[in-house]
């Protein structure tokens, strides 16, 4: 059963059950019930506590961050939901829903990401009104799914995407355990003592003094790319840009101190003292995750840079006393996804252990480093340099896998679209241009055919990897809850996610069991997507006291 949750004009909440009168019949709404805003959490709690798992509903709401934070604050966990906004984006663009009312619908309120809101922030007393007509939107979505080619895959995709929305809010609610004391110490060791506002830390000033001396530019502002390039050219360093890779091509005394300065400057800006003051409260970093924030389905964040935590500050992610961090990293995820998508049995055999070592053993390349470069080149369309030289060798040993990405590239070059395993579909060049905001020029997507082919080549692999990761986290969340419950003080819980890596915090005595569950969940995700196909998804799992120890 589904229960549609809708905000009424007077602030009350309307709950409408949707079910099938008979197997094969269309979903239809039943009698609605109105509850006061303050009663919602208790109503949901009672339904979620039903001992009959089959009777627990999928809560259908317009946008998970608008509803779920308040339930979590009340100690109420939701097992399943339908996030109409996220599902709208999937179904509106999916090639599997062509012919439905929803496919290709004009952009509107359902396409605009909503702000994450939480009672913790004091942003509201009553939840904001729902997006326009969620009941009609739900009916359109169900019609699109039920008429779709590959319906089962779309069902799994929308369920996984919605579960991801729940997980994102739960991780923000729990927060990443973070030690300001350790963070401050790490910054001081790298940058020097915290400077006065507007000043550079002492170790950056020392690097800058070397840079200015090497360039003969005593007043140089190194944070201005244009000014820095002029100074480099004046010193005979004909760099085209100030990127690390460009600077490393030049043999000049300025290169080493300049690279040191730039590395410290990135740390100061992205995760320095100002970041610590703004984002860490009561020993927790609470990022705003944006599920599906990247076109391939990967997550993004709307602040805090959670998906780009540098190694320099990972030591500040410290488990609470009596707890451990369980850090799990999916090994060589995208190449293994390509193996499953293509059905290449030779690559599956190579991936029985370390995939790159297996590629070396096949005779395709001479070293593990070459195998990694060649595989990246194949998935991202490299035609030059070391990657371009090695990719043809992979094609001879693993023809099905290489043909799969080649076919995706050719489709993109012709202006077509490609889809992930579960049905997320790439935009076409024309679609991407039509949906640009007015302030962005069309030239932003008017790329040459080969560039778009590189995009579609990688889209199918990266997008399906994002689907695997959602299924992995969903299976992990379910297994942990079945074993320990979710919101209890002693329950293990997810605290961080980064594409192919998860971090959980677990009571120290339960950490080894959690590590086993993480591995079991990865295998379950593989079965959900690829059935009995001979593709493995091994993990590197570490039980540590702080995040830096896992690397």
Q: Per residue, what are the HEC states of 149-164?
A: CCHHHHHHHHHHHHHH
Q: Maximum CA pair distance of the chain?
A: 82
Q: What's the confidence (pLDDT) of residue 66?
A: 93
Q: What's the confidence (pLDDT) of residue 125?
A: 39
Same-domain check for residues 266 and 298: no
Same-domain check for residues 96 and 130: yes
Q: Which residues form the domain of 207?
A: 180-277
What span, in angstroms and rounded, lies between the C-alpha atoms of 500 and 509?
Answer: 26
Residue 372's domain is classified under what CATH number?
1.10.150
Residue with tokens 């790439």: 426
Q: Average pLDDT, stretch 326-343?
A: 96
Q: Pick the last residue of a domain from 429, 458, 487.
A: 458
Residues 6+ apart with CB under 8 A from 205: none
If one counts the domains in the chain, the total is 4
Q: Terminal CA-to-CA distance of the chain, rounded, Å?
A: 44
Q: How many CB atoms sit inside 10 A of residue 367's CB?
A: 12
Residue 62, pLDDT above cutoff 90: yes
Same-domain check for residues 388 and 317: no
Same-domain check for residues 325 and 453: no
Mean pLDDT, the chain, rounded, equals 91
Same-domain check for residues 436 and 549: yes
Q: What's the confidence (pLDDT) of residue 53?
A: 60
472 band by pLDDT with thresholds 50, 70 and 90: very high
Q: 488 or 510: which carries more pLDDT confidence?
A: 510
Same-domain check for residues 436 and 291: yes
Same-domain check for residues 111 and 29: yes
What span, in angstroms and rounded, lies between the C-alpha atoms of 546 and 315?
Answer: 6
Same-domain check for residues 450 and 477: no
Which two structure tokens, joined as six digits, stand for 524? 């379950």
The structure's pTM equals 0.92
Same-domain check for residues 327 and 465: yes
pLDDT tens digit string along 210-251? Answer: 999 999 999 999 999 999 999 999 999 999 999 999 999 999
pLDDT tens digit string along 113-132? Answer: 655 444 444 443 344 556 88
Same-domain check for residues 471 and 447: no
Q: Pick the last residue of a domain from 174, 196, 224.
A: 174
């Amino acid at each position: 059963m589904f229960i549609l949750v809708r905000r009424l004009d007077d602030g009350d909440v309307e709950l409408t059950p949707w079910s099938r009168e008979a197997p094969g019949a269309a979903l239809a709404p039943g009698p609605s019930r109105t509850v006061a805003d303050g009663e919602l959490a208790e109503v949901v709690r009672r339904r979620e506590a039903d001992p009959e798992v089959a009777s627990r509903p999928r809560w259908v709401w317009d946008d998970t961050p608008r509803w779920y934070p308040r339930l979590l604050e009340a100690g109420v966990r939701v097992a399943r939901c339908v996030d109409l906004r996220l599902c709208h984006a999937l179904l509106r663009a999916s090639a599997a829903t062509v012919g439905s009312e929803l496919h290709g619908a004009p952009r509107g309120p359902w396409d605009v990401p909503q702000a994450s809101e939480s009672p913790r922030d004091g942003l509201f007393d009553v939840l904001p009104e729902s997006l326009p007509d969620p009941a009609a939107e739900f009916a359109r979505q169900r019609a699109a799914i039920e008429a779709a080619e590959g319906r089962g895959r779309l069902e799994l995709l929308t369920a996984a995407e919605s579960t991801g929305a729940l997980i994102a809010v739960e991780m923000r609610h729990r927060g990443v355990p973070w030690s300001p004391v350790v963070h401050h110490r790490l910054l001081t060791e790298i940058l020097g003592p915290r400077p006065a506002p507007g000043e550079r830390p002492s170790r950056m000033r020392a690097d800058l003094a070397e840079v200015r001396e090497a360039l003969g530019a005593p007043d140089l502002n190194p944070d201005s790319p244009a000014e820095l390039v002029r100074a480099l050219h004046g010193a005979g360093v004909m760099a085209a840009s100030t990127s690390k890779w460009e600077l490393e091509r030049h043999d000049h005394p300025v290169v080493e101190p300049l690279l040191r300065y730039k590395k410290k400057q990135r740390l100061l800006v992205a995760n320095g003292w100002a970041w610590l003051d703004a984002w860490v409260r009561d020993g927790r970093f609470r990022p705003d995750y944006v599920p599906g924030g990247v076109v391939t389905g990967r997550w993004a964040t709307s602040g805090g840079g959670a998906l780009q935590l540098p190694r320099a500050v990972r030591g500040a992610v410290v488990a609470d006393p009596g707890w451990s961090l369980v850090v799990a990293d999916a090994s060589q995820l995208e190449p293994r996804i390509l193996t499953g998508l293509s059905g290449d049995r030779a690559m599956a055999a190579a991936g029985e252990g370390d995939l790159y070592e297996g590629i070396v053993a096949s005779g395709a390349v001479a070293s593990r480093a070459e195998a990694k470069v060649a595989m990246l080149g194949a998935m991202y369309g490299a035609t030059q340099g070391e990657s371009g030289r090695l990719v043809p060798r992979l094609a001879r040993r693993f023809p099905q896998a290489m043909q799969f990405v080649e076919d995706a590239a050719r489709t993109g070059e012709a202006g077509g679209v490609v889809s992930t395993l579960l049905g997320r579909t790439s935009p076409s060049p024309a679609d991407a241009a039509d949906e640009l905001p007015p302030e962005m020029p069309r030239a932003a997507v008017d790329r040459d055919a080969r560039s778009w082919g590189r995009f579609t080549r990688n889209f199918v692999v990266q997008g399906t990897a994002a689907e695997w990761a959602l299924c992995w986290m969903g299976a992990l969340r379910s297994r942990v809850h079945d074993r320990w419950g979710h919101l209890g003080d002693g329950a293990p819980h997810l605290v961080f996610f980064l594409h192919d890596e998860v971090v959980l915090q677990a009571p120290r005595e339960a950490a080894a069991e959690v590590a086993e569950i993480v591995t079991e969940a990865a295998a379950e995700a593989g079965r959900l997507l690829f059935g009995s196909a001979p593709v493995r998804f091994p993990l590197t799992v570490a039980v540590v006291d702080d995040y830096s120890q896992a690397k």
